[in-house]
Amino acid sequence: MYAPVRRGCSKLKLPEHVREYLDRKGIWELFPPQREAVEKGLFDDENLLIAAPTASGKTLLAEMRALHELIESHGETRVVYVVPFRALAREKYEELTNVIEFCREKGLEPTIEISTGDVRRPIRELRPGITVTTAEKLDASLRSRPSLVEEVDLLVLDEVHIVGDRNRGATYEALIALVRTFREKVSLLALSATVGNAEELADWLDATPVISDWRPVKLEHRIVEVPSASEKDAKVRKLIRKCLREGGQALVFLYSRRRAMTEAKNLSRTVSGLLSEDEKKELRTLAERVSELGEGEETEILAYAVMRGVAFHHAGLTAEQRALVEDAFREGLLKVVVSTPTLAAGVNLPARYVIIKDFGMRLGNEIKPTKNEFKQMAGRAGRPGYDDMGLVFVLTTSNWKELAEEYVHSEADPVQSRIWVSGPQLRRFLLGLVAAGFCRQIADVMRVALNTFMSSVNIRPEDAVLSSLKMLVDWGFLEELEGELTATKVGHAVSQSYLTPDSAKFLLRCMEEVGTEENVVLPSITLCPDFQPAPISSKSRELSTLDAFMGGSPSIEADEVLELAVEEFGYDDWELERRLAWAEALSDWVSGSPDRSILRKYDLYPGDLYRAKDDAAWIAWGMSRLARAAGITWRSPLLSRRLEYGVPKEALELTEVEGVGRTLAMRLYRAGYHSVRDLAEATVPELTRVRGIGEQLARKILESARRLTGT
């Protein structure tokens, strides 16, 4: 929708197949940073770093490079397109599909695949064509199949500035260092936002830099001083009305999920009166779809707002709901999206107006937004092909006005490496190098370490590497003899499970010293650092100790799990209470309690619950592998699958049937269907008596059940 019309450039030297591809997309002129990239070797097998603002055409450069290499190799090149976020993977997959379709029209047979999420299911092979994946998924896959690194021909690193992110940066940087060390012939195309040290990033990647501040739509910042925070609401409403009457769309950024919901609901009353009857009809259909994709108060508020042309967007929504909001905004159906800053970092969603309502907030020890967060949010202003100018409105009180001026007129901050201060992620990286067979000596590990970004800016890695390797030896995950490194049996299990060694050490202690029964495993999972708990209400819990939580079983020293967590990680009372509340919520989940009941009881967002159960299922699976490697009897064999599907063990078998998810499995179980064979012996009229099953779904269930039972 936002692709601009470009005309009048035919002198640039482009391969004929690339020119034909651009012609089909209606592109007759490249943007300045795109032209510079071509001139600096985009089609000459050169490593390039493109550092440019949002909407300056970086993704098109990746399409052109991938297309050229696929055509030149007769469809045999293997392109790996790495993104930092799953939502971005979906977006890039859809865009890169055009490249594959073009190649197939030329008689070639490359494929395109998307592989994100569950690290329990690693990438087994890289087929000729394009694989879109996340850094975590590719990193985890290399532990199970290290030879994958030899299959990477072109590595596209999207949002490569993410190496400076405190959460994901270490893994992204480690992956790049690994591939560059063990796949010397790999070609690199790195795409970055405008950062303060793009030249340093390029030097690290042995890449030619293409650095530009050019934007297809001019950006204008307007700092709006308001007397007090309470005055901001009226100002936002006024700006929204003006934007929509001009035919534009708006993004409003806030730092609170709850306030984003409230803001969207309030703004929907302003926007609804500016919609046409046709738009209202389409929005009613969209709202119905939103309601089908989730439960709870948040879904009800989202559907209410969507029906009136507004949505909120944050990580608490389900992935399907977020995708629906993003697509409807791109299509112009939704007029306003109120979001937390995560949208600015992860999804390409431009708007005519960007309104930064929360400027100068104190969150913990930080002032929000940070300068780079501000640049990311502001960069969403201006829709190429639709707007002559993107407007950024910064709403601030007088005491924060000077900082706002500084942000507007200063350059982005430089990217800083996180890898040597990342602790658990660094140890996971080093253990993986040895366990997967990439490194057999300390000198080999150092060779990889010297390929990290931090090392390239003259910060030596030796002390951090040696101290982390010593920890891994002390914990029993590695053995070292005169510089030779080998992974122990347990170390291999830790590496292939993709748990951090720090979490694995704690989980092993819990299993060895307390037990592996489900009522021990669940709190062990939520108390380990690899489980990253979203906000949750613990008010429903009247349990002051883990012993009470676990039912006071006389055979288990329940408080010992709690003591181990405090000993290992130094949790305070608030953190312990939060993590134990999650253990109880997950206990309700595997017992088959309805989603709506769990969401209400713990004041949760659907997206948070579903991510938590996915993480818990992965950690439980990892624990089972650790137990097997350590010779510990694992007494929770079904827990990982029950966490995945959210059903008690009695109903788990029903989820094997196609079309039967969590809710339907519980309804079928309560209706007397306790096994796949029970379903196979049913009839269509009998199944349609179960709420939620129509004739078409009944036939699908019967066909699947009979296939599974061979009847």
Give the per-residue pLDDT at 543.
44
- Domain 649-709 CATH (choose: 1.20.1440.230, 1.10.1030.10, 3.40.50.300, 1.10.150.20): 1.10.150.20
Fold of 501-642: Sec63 N-terminal domain-like fold (1.10.3380)
Comparing CA positions, the residue from 86, 142, 88 lying closest to residue 117 is 86
DSSP at 309: T
SS3 (DSSP) at 602: helix
Residue 585 has pLDDT above 70, yes or no: yes
> Which residue matches tokens 């770093």?
49
What architecture does CATH give domain 16-211?
Answer: 3-Layer(aba) Sandwich (3.40)
- Angle at the Cα of 509 (from 507 to 512), degrees rounded to 5? 110
**Contact yes or no for 658/644 (Cβ under 8 A):** no
pLDDT at residue number 555: 37
6 has pLDDT over 50: no
Mean pLDDT over residues 525-552, rounded? Answer: 70
- Report in angstroms the alpha-carbon separations of 179 from 80, 163, 185, 186: 11, 15, 10, 8
Q: Which two tokens stand for residue 439?
A: 């490194």
Task: Report whether 414 contacts 196 (CB < 8 A).
Answer: yes
Contact assessment for residue 456 and residue 200, using Cβ atoms and an 8 Å cutoff: yes
pLDDT band at 346 (very low <50, low <70, confident <90, very high): low
Name the packing angle between helices 606-630 and 501-513 (round to 10°): 70
Report whether pLDDT(115) > 60. Answer: yes
What is the per-residue pLDDT for 558?
Answer: 58
- Map residue 142 onto helix, strand or coil: helix
Of the pLDDT bands very low, low, confident and very high (cuts 50, 70, 90), residue 118 is confident
Distance separating alpha carbons of residues 310 and 279, to the nearest angstrom: 12
Give the strand order in the sheet containing 218-225. 218-225, 389-396, 353-356, 250-253, 336-339, 310-313
pLDDT band at residue 539 under the 50/70/90 scheme: low
Per-residue pLDDT tens over the stretch 258-301: 999 999 999 999 999 999 999 999 999 999 999 988 888 899 99
* In the predicted structure, residue 17 carries a pLDDT above the cut 60: yes
Q: Write down the pLDDT at residue 363.
A: 77
What's residue 11's pLDDT?
Answer: 67
Percentage of the residues of the chain whose pLDDT score is greater than 70: 95
> What is the three-class DSSP state of 192?
strand
pLDDT level of residue 7 (50, 70, 90 thresholds): very low
User: What was the pLDDT predicted at 367?
Assistant: 83
Helix axes 595-602, 606-630, angle to 10 degrees: 100
Distinct helix (H) and strand (E) counts, the chain: 32, 17
Nearest alpha carbon to residue 113 among 617, 121, 322, 105: 121
- Tell me which amino acid residue 7 is: R
How far apart CA 256 and CA 363 sit, in angstroms, is 10
Closest to 539 measured CA to CA, from 448, 603, 635: 603
Residue 628: which pLDDT band, with cuts at 50, 70 and 90? very high
Q: Scan for tokens 């050169």, then name that residue.
A: 46
| Cα end-to-end distance, the chain, whole Å | 50
- pLDDT tens per residue, range 645-675: 999 999 999 999 999 999 999 999 999 999 9
Question: With DSSP H G I counted as helix, E B as strand and the rest as coil, what are the percentages for the chain, rounded to 5?
Answer: 55, 10, 35
Residue type, 311: A
Burial of 193 (0-12, 13-18, 19+ CB in 10 A): buried
Q: d(Cα 366, Cα 377) in Å, to the nearest integer?
A: 17
pLDDT, tens digit (0-9, with 9 covering 90-100), for 157-211: 999 999 998 888 999 999 999 999 999 889 999 999 888 999 999 999 999 999 9
Report d(CA 453, CA 170) in Å as an integer: 10
* Confidence band for 117, pLDDT divided at 50, 70 and 90: confident
| Bridge partners, residue 48, by sequence | 189, 208
Residue 565, both tokens: 């967590």
CA–CA distances in Å: residue 185 to residues 232, 343, 570, 643: 55, 35, 45, 42
Bridge partners of 252, per DSSP, are 338, 355
CA angle 565, 568, 570 (to 5 degrees): 75
The whole-angstrom separation of Cα 324 and Cα 354 is 20
**Cα four-point dihedral sign 244, 246, 249, 253:** negative
Task: Return the domain boundaries, the chain.
Answer: 16-211, 218-409, 419-486, 501-642, 649-709
What is the model's pLDDT at position 111?
A: 97
- The answer to whether 505 touches 644, Cβ cutoff 8 Å, is no
DSSP-assigned states of every residue in 603-638: T--HHHHHHHHHHHHHHHHHHHHHHHHHT-----TT
138, 80 Cβ separation under 8 angstroms: yes
pLDDT at 494: 98
CA distance 77 to 69: 6
Structure tokens at 93: 């997959």
Q: Do domains 16-211 and 218-409 have the same CATH topology?
A: yes
Q: Which CATH number fits domain 419-486: 3.40.630.30, 1.10.10.10, 3.40.50.300, 3.40.50.360?
A: 1.10.10.10
- Tally Cβ neighbours within 10 Å of residue 591: 12
On whether the CB atoms of residues 98 and 66 are closer than 8 A, the answer is: no
Could you tell me if 626 and 494 are in contact, meaning their C-beta atoms sit under 8 angstroms apart? yes
- What span, in angstroms and rounded, lies between the C-alpha atoms of 201 and 693? 55
The answer to whether 34 is annotated as binding is yes
Residue ranges of alpha helices (H) inside 486-558 are 489-497, 501-513, 518-527, 546-549
Residue 626 sits at the vertex; the CA angle it makes with 620 and 628, to the nearest 5 degrees, is 105
**Amino acid at residue number 169:** G
Closest C-alpha to 377, from 253, 195, 214, 260: 253
CB atoms within 10 A of CB 185: 8
- Domain 218-409 in CATH 3.40.50.261? The answer is no
Q: Phi and psi dihedrals of 700, rounded to 5?
A: -65, -45
pTM score, whole prediction: 0.92
Does residue 343 have a pLDDT over 90?
no
What average pLDDT does the structure give for the chain? 91
Is 4 a residue whose pLDDT tops 70?
Answer: no
- Contact 137/117 with Cβ under 8 angstroms? yes
What the block records as the tokens of 592 is: 């088959």
Q: Do 672 and 678 touch, CB atoms closer than 8 A?
A: yes
pLDDT of residue 5: 35
The mean per-residue pLDDT over the stretch 384-413 comes to: 92
The DSSP string of 381-432 is B--TTT-SEEEEEEEE-GGGHHHHHHHHHSPPPPP---GGG-THHHHHHHHH
Give tens-digit pLDDT for 547-565. Answer: 454 444 433 445 788 899 9
Question: Over the stretch 57-91, which tens digit does the pLDDT of each residue have?
Answer: 999 999 999 999 999 999 999 999 999 988 889 99
